[in-house]
């Protein structure tokens, strides 16, 4: 199924908005709910142990786009939900996301997150691990109070899948024999699983038929894959570097992402020696990142990665077709464009 063969509503789904504005449009659409969600996040990250809200606030205050809870809020509205349950569940999604960020930064030994010093850099690895655990448990407490076993199932399963994706990423790290299938399994786990759960939960709180829950799940999953593909390309983007953003994090860690994988697989023997040295043996010298970027550019692997993201983006758009046109559907479609437009 591709966007061009679908009989109806092609125009309003794809490209109806300025991609740069899409996130603002979505945020404006659910502003009251998002503000309620942000208040709940601050309220529920409290603890008599003061270090917990201090550390959590470091990450929460650092902002972030709140894409995942926004998706829950918009999906619930798309499905006609008029109660307040989606606000609490959007907060759960953000808590689980925040917990994984805290643990990721410990695992990756990251010094920066969203352009600011990471929680582990400021507070140390130990409280980062434990506050991640706290936020994860707190998310489940909020879900229990909501009372839907189906929602609990969706987010517990997503949480297990995220951990599996993260472990697989560790296993494939520094291994140039990683296959595209394994790479896709990693990003389906570490990123797409929570996007899929975030949007599916929107249909579930609205008590909509299974087909709509599945459509929103497919939208979230495909969007998540597209999002991560673009992220993985941006890590080698010269234009990002020109904007003063960090590039090369994945390279320094020897993460096997699609741009690298495609470059390695199309490389001659001499280039393979280079890739093995920098990624497998992690012997990196000045100029190696630039050389890697040049090799990827000459092989067109960054464009190929973005192209792949576009395919997943189209799948996400297709999944929205069963919903009637309206501001929510247009906003969710716009987010697909936004995610891919980041690559420019």
Nearer residue to a second copy within complex by CB, 134 or 251: 134
- Contact flag: residue 164 with a second copy (CB under 8 A): yes
DSSP run (H or E) holding 337: helix 327-341
For a second copy, the binding residue among 7, 147, 244, 287 (CB under 8 A) is: 147
Strand partners, 117: 112
- Contact flag: residue 101 with a second copy (CB under 8 A): no
- Gap between the Cα atoms of 299 and 264, Å rounded: 10
- Contact flag: residue 166 with a second copy (CB under 8 A): yes
- Contact flag: residue 153 with a second copy (CB under 8 A): yes
Tell me how far the alpha carbon of residue 296 is from its chain's centroid.
23
For a second copy, the binding residue among 3, 6, 16, 167 (CB under 8 A) is: 167
Q: Select the span of 2-10, 57-65, 129-137, 306-314 touching a second copy (CB under 8 A).
A: 129-137
Q: Is the separation of the CB atoms in 125 and 92 below 8 Å?
A: no
- Contact flag: residue 144 with a second copy (CB under 8 A): yes
- Contact flag: residue 179 with a second copy (CB under 8 A): no
Strand partners, 116: 113
Nearer residue to a second copy within complex by CB, 103 or 217: 103
For a second copy, the binding residue among 157, 179, 239, 246 (CB under 8 A) is: 157
Site residues (CB under 8 A) for a second copy, limited to 182-221 = none
- Contact flag: residue 136 with a second copy (CB under 8 A): yes
Q: Is the separation of the CB atoms in 20 and 335 below 8 Å?
A: no
- Gap between the Cα atoms of 156 and 173, Å rounded: 26
User: Total binding residues for a second copy by CB under 8 A?
Assistant: 43
Three-class SS state of 112: strand
Contacts of 138-143 with CB under 8 Å at 24 or more apart are: 138/44, 138/45, 138/95, 139/91, 139/92, 139/93, 139/95, 139/96, 139/99, 140/92, 142/44, 142/88, 142/89, 142/91, 142/92, 142/95, 143/89, 143/92
Q: How many residues does the chain have?
A: 344
For a second copy, the binding residue among 125, 240, 284, 297 (CB under 8 A) is: 125
Give helix 193-205 / helix 210-234 axis angle, nearest 10°. 150
- Contact flag: residue 293 with a second copy (CB under 8 A): no
- Contact flag: residue 111 with a second copy (CB under 8 A): no
Q: How far is the CB of 49 from a second copy (least distance, A)?
A: 5
- Contact flag: residue 133 with a second copy (CB under 8 A): yes
Q: For binding to a second copy (CB under 8 A), which residues are involved? A: 47-52, 99-100, 103, 106-107, 125-127, 129-134, 136-138, 140-141, 143-144, 147, 149, 152-153, 156-157, 159-160, 162-164, 166-168, 170-171
């Amino acid at each position: 199924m591709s966007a061009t063969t679908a009989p109806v509503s092609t125009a309003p789904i794809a490209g109806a908005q300025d991609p740069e504005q899409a996130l603002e449009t979505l945020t404006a659409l659910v502003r009251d709910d998002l503000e309620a969600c942000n208040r709940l996040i601050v309220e529920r990250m409290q603890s008599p142990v003061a270090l917990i809200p201090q550390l959590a606030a470091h990450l929460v205050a650092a902002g972030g786009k709140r894409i995942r809870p926004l998706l829950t809020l918009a999906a619930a509205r798309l499905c006609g939900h008029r109660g307040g349950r989606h606000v609490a569940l959007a907060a759960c999604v953000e808590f689980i996301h925040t917990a994984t960020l805290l643990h990721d930064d410990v695992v990756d030994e990251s010094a920066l997150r969203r352009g600011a010093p990471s929680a582990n850099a400021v507070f140390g690895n130990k409280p980062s691990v434990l506050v991640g655990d706290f936020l994860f448990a707190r998310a489940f407490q909020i879900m229990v109070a909501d009372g839907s076993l189906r929602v609990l199932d969706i987010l517990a399963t997503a949480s297990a899948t995220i951990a599996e994706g993260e472990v697989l990423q560790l296993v494939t790290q520094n291994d140039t024999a990683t296959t595209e299938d394994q790479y896709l399994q990693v990003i389906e786990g570490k990123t797409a699983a929570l996007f899929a759960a975030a949007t599916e939960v929107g249909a579930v709180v609205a008590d909509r038929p299974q087909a709509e829950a599945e459509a929103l799940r497919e939208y979230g999953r495909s969007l998540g894959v597209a999002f991560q593909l673009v992220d993985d390309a941006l890590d080698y983007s010269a234009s990002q570097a020109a904007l003063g953003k960090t590039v090369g994090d994945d390279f320094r860690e020897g993460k096997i992402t699609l741009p690298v994988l495609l470059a390695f697989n199309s490389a001659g023997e001499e280039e393979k020696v280079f890739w093995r040295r920098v990624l497998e043996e992690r012997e990196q010298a000045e100029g190696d990142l630039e050389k890697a970027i040049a090799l990827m550019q000459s092989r067109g692997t960054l464009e190929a990665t973005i192209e792949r993201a576009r395919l997943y983006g189209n799948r996400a758009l297709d999944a929205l077709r069963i919903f009637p046109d309206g501001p929510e559907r247009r906003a969710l479609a716009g987010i697909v464009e936004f995610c891919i437009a980041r690559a420019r």
